[in-house]
Amino acid sequence: MILGSHISEEHKRRISKALKGRKCEPFSEEHKQKISKARKGKHHSEEHRKKISEAGIGKRLGQNNPSWKGGKTKIICKVCGKEKDVKQSEIKKGYGKFCSLKCSAIHRNIHQKKHDTDIERLIENELIRRNIPYTKQVALLGVTLVDFLLPHDTVIYCDGDYWHSLEKVKTRDITQDFILTFYGYRVFRFAEKEIKKSTKKCIDIIFPIKTQRRDGKNVKK
């Protein structure tokens, strides 16, 4: 029920008519003095306030505070290694292992992935064939999980055609590439079509094969 809905229209008109022309008169000076006199002495003096403040210093801090929940503890992010202050209550709930949601998502992707994709296996087989050392599924800078990390800070992404054609993912990929390049990484992204067409050509872009001409000079193939 809406407040006031029980009042009839006729009753409302009577109230409006009765109040018409009335003004709210301000308090007179005499009335203000009476109010001030009645309130006099009810405020604490400056000296009394100071005593209250000194008596309460340190008594409600830390563990003495009723809202104390264990304070904060420094943790080291399991993904990027950054330090972060985390509440004890969050640690007890199982949180506080990562410095951000990005690092949490990267860690989840690492440990929940059950098997490599077809295109990742094709790239891995080519790397093995050429005896190129690599590490799979490496978290870098707390912003990305690369498919392969090679020597000399070389990074390979194997991008599925559908997922990496989405605008949101394209924007994310550009951001990741920019950050990695800024920090000195060589970034190579190969689309699913490229990898399936010729894995050899993909790896040739990163490590060109040198051949000798008849005059003895090396050329890149």
Alpha carbon distance 103, 115 (integer Å) = 21
CA distance 199 to 26: 89
CATH classification at residue 156: 3.40.960.10
Nearest to 126 by CA among 66, 195, 42, 72: 195
Residue 82 lies in a domain: yes
For residue 127, which phi and psi values (nearest 5 degrees)?
-65, -40
For the cut 90, the answer to whether the pLDDT of residue 201 exceeds it is yes
Tens of pLDDT along 13-39? 777 777 666 665 666 778 777 777 776
Give yes or no for residue 199 having a pLDDT over 90.
yes
Which tops the pLDDT comparison, 145 or 91?
145
Whether 173 and 93 share a structural domain: no
Whether 21 is in a domain gets the answer: no
| Residues 98, 79 contacting (CB under 8 angstroms) | yes
pLDDT at 114: 58
Same domain, 90 and 180: no
Residues 174-193 pLDDT 10s: 999 999 999 999 999 999 99
Q: Which residues are CB-contacts of 118 (< 8 A; sequence separation ≥ 6)?
A: 196
What was the pLDDT predicted at 188?
96
Query: Which position has the token pair 């020597």?
Result: 151
Structural domain count of the chain: 2
Residue 168 and residue 80 share a domain: no
pTM of the prediction?
0.50
Same domain, 134 and 164: yes
pLDDT confidence tier of residue 1, bands split at 50, 70 and 90 = very low
Residue 173 region by backbone torsions, left for phi larger than 0, else alpha for psi between -120 and 50, else beta = alpha
In a domain, 37, yes or no: no
Kind plus residue range of the DSSP H or E element containing 47: helix 46-56
**Domain membership flag for residue 4:** no
Structural domain containing residue 79 = 72-104
Mean pLDDT of the chain: 76
The residues, any chain, with a CB within 8 Å of residue 132's CB and separated by 6 or more, are 150, 151, 203, 207
pLDDT band for position 2 (50/70/90)? Answer: very low
**Which pLDDT score is estimated for 119?**
92
Check: CB of residue 190 under 8 Å from CB of residue 164.
no
Tens digit of each residue's pLDDT (9 = 90 or more) over 131-155: 999 999 888 887 888 999 999 999 9
More confident residue, 112 or 211: 112
CA distance 12 to 188: 77
Residues 79 and 126 in one domain: no
Whether residue 197 is found in the same domain as residue 137? yes
Residue 199: inside a domain, yes or no? yes
Say what the alpha-carbon torsion angle 216, 218, 219, 221 is, to the nearest 10 degrees.
Answer: 100
Single-letter amino acid, residue 107:
H
Q: Which two tokens stand for residue 151?
A: 């020597």
pLDDT digits 0-9 by tens, 170-179: 898 899 999 9
User: For residue 43, what pLDDT is reported?
Assistant: 65
Q: What percent of the chain has pLDDT over 90?
A: 29
- Asked if residue 127 and residue 186 are part of one domain, the reply reads yes
First to last CA, the chain: 84
- Whether residue 25 is contained in a domain is answered as no
pLDDT score of 122: 95
Same domain, yes or no: 208 and 123? yes
Same domain, yes or no, for 121 and 198? yes
In this structure, the answer to whether residues 92 and 131 fall within a common structural domain is no
Q: Which two tokens stand for residue 164?
A: 């990496």
Residue 212's pLDDT band, with cuts at 50, 70 and 90, is very low
Classify 39 as helix, strand or coil: helix
